[in-house]
Amino acid sequence: MLINNDTIVKDNDPLMRTKSEPVKLPLSVEDKNILMDMYNYVKDSIDPELSEERNLRAAVGISAIQIGIPKRMTVIRLTDIDKNDNEILYEFCLVNPKIISSSLQKAYLQSGEGCLSVIEEHEGYVVRSARVTVEAYDALQDKHIRIRARGFLAIVLQHELDHFEGTLFYDHINKDEPFKEIENALII
């Protein structure tokens, strides 16, 4: 399946506001192929040469609804720093992920969030939980997993899982005070 900036479903399409359906396990060949195409998009999107050549926008995640498929599948691939200041690569092809717990402490990206499906800029803090625990089937590892995430990874997980509910990042921005400071929030 060809995935590029021209084929990504944009936020003005009503499909982006629909709820995604659970995926049957074991995965069908078709669903495995969709996940691998999504994975390759995210991986290749950070390569300047490939992204220019293939018309890709840089991404750390993509959900199936963004390619017109209303299924609970998402791919996340990002590099972050762990508590010991070591670089760590997180990569998942998640099926039917769900947040089973989240922290009371809030977090947000100081620079705001972006999305492959959103072309216009939406300024403001997107306030989310600082830590989440997610359970899912991971097609890369071919098993059910539990992810305990904090900081940037937690924010990306929440962003992608929001797509399953038809929610976009800018829905979380305080319309009256988009840059309102949040007490005790983790600012990333």
Q: Which residues are catalytic?
A: 160
Give the dihedral of Cα atoms 2, 59, 75, 51; nearest 10 deg: 30
**Which of these, 148, 60, 64, lies nearest to 100 by C-alpha position?**
148
Q: What strand order describes the sheet that includes 87-102?
A: 61-63, 73-81, 87-102, 131-138, 143-150
Residue with tokens 């995640």: 61
Query: What is the amino acid identity at position 95?
Result: V
Q: Are 81 and 88 in contact (CB under 8 A)?
A: yes
Q: Across the strands, what pairs with 64? A: none
